[in-house]
Chain A
Amino acid sequence: MAHKNLEEAIRAAKSPVKMLRDSQIGPYAFPVVPSEFTNWRDEQRSWRETCALFDQSHHMTDLLVEGPDALRVFASLGVNTFDNFRVDTAKQFVACNHDGYVIGDAILFHLAPNRFNLVGRPPALNWVQYHVATGGYDAKFERDERSFVNKGQRKSYRYQVQGPNAAKVMQAATGKPMPDIKFFQMSTVDVGGCKVRALRHGMVGQPGWELFGPWAEADTVRNALLEAGAKFGIQRVGARTYPTSTLESGWIPSPLPAVYTGKEMQPYREWLAGTSYEAMASLGGSFVAKNIEDYYLTPYELGYGVFVRFDHEFVGRKALEKLAKKPSRKKVTLAWNGDDVRRTLGTLFSAGRTVAKYIDLPLANYATLPFDKIVKGGKTIGLSTYTGYSFNERSMLSLAVIDEKHAKPGTKVTLLWGEEGGGTSKPTVERHKQIKIRATVGPVPYGDTARTAYRPK
């Protein structure tokens, strides 16, 4: 049953950890897009070998913020600098709570003077919307829910063209070479007779573009891209494959929003609906702490240290100034031991025995917020937060945050897979036993190509 607001939901559940770990909502949804266009192995190969077309029109929420104070709202909440944030540029906006823990991150597009669009999972957007709605700013917002929530149509389509042939595909689709713009800058191009805004991107380690425009033109633009891309091996990527691309590029999509505790955050919790992402999200995995704050992560731990700029006032600044001087856990990629993964899947084929938690391929998350324990020498040394299989690397990979002294590539660690006591009551969890999986620490991004060519600026 839904509560009036997040604060009430937490009170009723007594513990936010328990509330989230027993959530009945399932993993984060990638709706509408078919699960596979060809097969997920070939779809994964396309972003490494030819060109992938991602359809991102459905799984993210858009928050349009407009008005003379719009930039001021973002600057008051973002760890990022807003100096020189011109129209036709974008940035990865990261918002923290007062204690310097990450609430969420999303892509912020500067569309026109005083007009911004924030696109991503709901937590960062909710936090911004709350401030626009209650902060007395001269700005208004318009929210376009992701398709999981929005039963109607989206306002925009959003595609990405990625992979070694992406530039050739874009040239064929627009009839000329793409404008030579820097990472996270935008231009306007013509595709299939439609005006398309293009953000220079590079999600999977190669030059690529994110393209967006009005929903009514979604089919025309997609068909033009597919036609232009056919001879360059463009491959549509289905919903099963899409969310695994980040395993190779290293972005962690699912930090737990740091909103469940703290007196200062209470008015926000009372404002957040009982049906919000924060109230409904499911928390899964072997890492269990009584204190929800043990799940919070800092921008430094998530690899956003380079974004933190003390050139402006923002929520969390004071706390981050202190943290900036301390050692921090580091984001790494874990490559799982193949024999152990095989042993885990193998439990499915032995009659009468308890199975290990099923590893779904290629995306193995079974909660909105996956948190598995990483141990070494009997001690918990970190958290693994996003898990799946990469056909390109022929390996299970997970994105993790671990103690600095164990973060060196090549370090051997152990990940505990599955939940305690046969599993929580989440519907995605069948009764199972926990199993230890050996893993090797690797860099972020993991892919060879990504390691050498991915240069966010």
Chain B
Amino acid sequence: MKELVEVIAKALVDNPDAVVVNEICGEQSVIIELKVAPEDMGKVIGKQGRIARAIRTVVKAAAIKANKRVIVEII
């Protein structure tokens, strides 16, 4: 799940090296923290959070198989 967020984020930003993804596992849910370079924030959030929403939708679909709730946070 962590790698999925990483792959998508790296493809979107201008500084792929600055992308950092952390995974915090709970019992039923997983929190994924995505960090990017400050100038790339817009590239992963988008107008009205449209890109962020698309990332969450794709990750959610992947999580169905693992039977887990995944929360993607951009910090």
Our verdict on whether A and B bind, yes or no, reads no
Residues of A within 8 A of B (CB): none
Residues of B within 8 A of A (CB): none
